[in-house]
Amino acid sequence: MLKDCRTVWANCLRVIKANIGEQSYRTWFEPIIPVQLHNNVLIIQVPSQFFYEWLEEHYVDVLKKSIYQELGHEGRLEYSIVVDQGNGASKPRTVNIPTARKAAYPTPLQQDNAMAASAMTASARNVAAAAAAPVSPDKAATLRNPFEASKAIDRNYLKSQLNHTYSFENYIEGDCNRLARSAGMAVANKPGTTSFNPLMIYGGVGLGKTHLVQAIGNHIKATTPDKFVLYVSAEKFTNQFIESLRSNAVQDFANFYLLVDILILDDVQFLSGKDKTQEMFFHIFNHLHQAGRQIVMTSDRPPRDLNGLEDRLLSRFKWGLTADLQSPDFETRMAIIQNKMQQDGIDIPPQVVEYLAHSVNTNVRELEGVLISLVAQSSLNRREIDLEMAKQALRHIIEEVEAEVNLDFIQKTVAEYFSIPVDLMKAKTRKKEVVTARQVAMYFAKEHTSHSLKSIGHNFGGRDHSTVIHSVQTVSDLIDSDKVFKGTIQELRKKFAGK
């Protein structure tokens, strides 16, 4: 009876899967393609020489076992090695195994580089496959030394793209960032060896994500200069990747990233909906993580809200630690302003500092923006910074802040959105659309004002605090379960963000 190579390999995989870890399985076995079965010789295609050597070195026993179970004593395995150069030329080389190639096994340094090379080949091929038709073995490129590409790169000369002004010393600690900051420091002191791998920092705009992850990078660079730290925004990563696709250099792209010891990817939400870039990042992530390299990421929202990111990528983020950044409280804002003044040699009277810290409670970037504009004005007008000037500079921001925290404004905006009169929201009616509008308005009142539950209830036609709790809960549940509703909330939230 003729067996088909795919069935045989699928059965082998079942044996292999049961015998090795999931991550190893994914990394080393999922990219393999069964090519042919002839006279009890199964030919499988692997993405590179290194890949083949790695399999031989680490998985030869389980491979033998699986082949034996499927094909008996006569069974043999052969590898077809592909180094896809993206130009689809020439044939893969086939080698016979089992062959103990221990002597030829790379030294640790080579291994490091080769790991990079091989992994890239694998991902490159997957990306190419996703982009066009699957790579057929006949079209695969000639075998070339997989160490070649990466050997040429000396990691010490690679630029980290770090901004030296961001450090832990000038990253003010507060309740808003305590966990994220201390996890960041732990990672900075022991990259790749804590359980915070990956470390994912999330938080709204201007709350200090970039500063914190850059501080991690700078600290590592300062203490262990030989480590290759790379800071890159997800946007730049995406653009580089697209460019590499365009110029047939996907392999070089991946090669480069697999050399990184500490990869800092800023604003991962940018990868949403970019499937091929995600695929590439997924492979890089897996290889770096498996090799014990540190990965640090930031996002402007919690991972669960990263719509458009593949589940398998999201599930990776959960392997490590996710920590959030909140808006700084008054005391932290004071400390941030004082620190900034000291750093830039600015002198501002204490009551002005207090006024600023009190008024600008949106985010740190805005706070810094106001400081800068005050300094500019003061030098332009040759006038000392005083309270009057600060009030003048803050006029438009304060208005927004007030609109934000104002209960009337929330009721009016929500009522308008649902096209109902404001008074109806406070009335006794239980009509569905009115109830929904009321609940949504209560939800935002809780989120954006400092009113107590009791006071919110009071302002919605004298309802009690348990009604408010129920409304907030209902809205939260709906956000999780109903996409359309979630969209509504997001749209309304923009109106309250005051930007």
Residues annotated within the binding site are 206, 208-210
Phi/psi-derived region of residue 419, left when phi > 0, alpha when psi is between -120 and 50, beta in every other case: left
Stretch binding ligand ADP (CB under 6 A), from 171-179, 222-230, 235-243, 413-421: 171-179
**For tokens 């938080």, what's the residue?**
203
Residue 206 near which of ligand ADP, Mg ion, none (CB within 5-8 Å, type-dependent): ligand ADP
Subset of 362-421 contacting ligand ADP (CB under 6 A): 364-365, 368
Residue 116 CB, nearest distance to ligand ADP (Å)? 29
**Is 210 one of the binding residues for Mg ion (CB under 5 A)?**
yes
Subset of 32-91 contacting ligand ADP (CB under 6 A): none
Residue 289 near which of Mg ion, ligand ADP, none (CB within 5-8 Å, type-dependent): none
**Is 206 one of the binding residues for ligand ADP (CB under 6 A)?**
yes
209 or 221: whose CB is closer to Mg ion? 209
Cα gap 88→90, rounded to integer Å: 7
- Considering only 171, 253, 282, 460, the residue that binds ligand ADP (CB under 6 A) is 171
C-alpha distances in Å from residue 260, one per residue of 22, 257, 326: 23, 6, 30
Q: 487-493 long-range CB contacts below 8 Å, 24 or more apart?
A: 488/417, 488/440, 489/440, 489/443, 491/417, 492/413, 492/414, 492/417, 492/440, 492/444, 493/444
Residue 288 CB, nearest distance to ligand ADP (Å)? 22
- Interface pattern 150-189 for Mg ion (x via CB under 5 A): ----------------------------------------
Contacts of 121 (CB under 8 A, 6+ apart): 47, 48, 51, 82, 83, 84, 146, 251, 254
184 or 198: whose CB is closer to ligand ADP? 184
Residue 306 CB, nearest distance to ligand ADP (Å)? 16
Residue 457 near which of Mg ion, ligand ADP, none (CB within 5-8 Å, type-dependent): none
Residue 208 near which of Mg ion, ligand ADP, none (CB within 5-8 Å, type-dependent): ligand ADP
How many residues make contact with ligand ADP (CB under 6 A)?
16
Stretch binding ligand ADP (CB under 6 A), from 3-11, 127-135, 200-208, 430-438: 200-208
> Given the rule CB under 5 A, which residues bind Mg ion?
209-210
> Given the rule CB under 6 A, which residues bind ligand ADP?
170-172, 177, 203, 205-211, 336, 364-365, 368
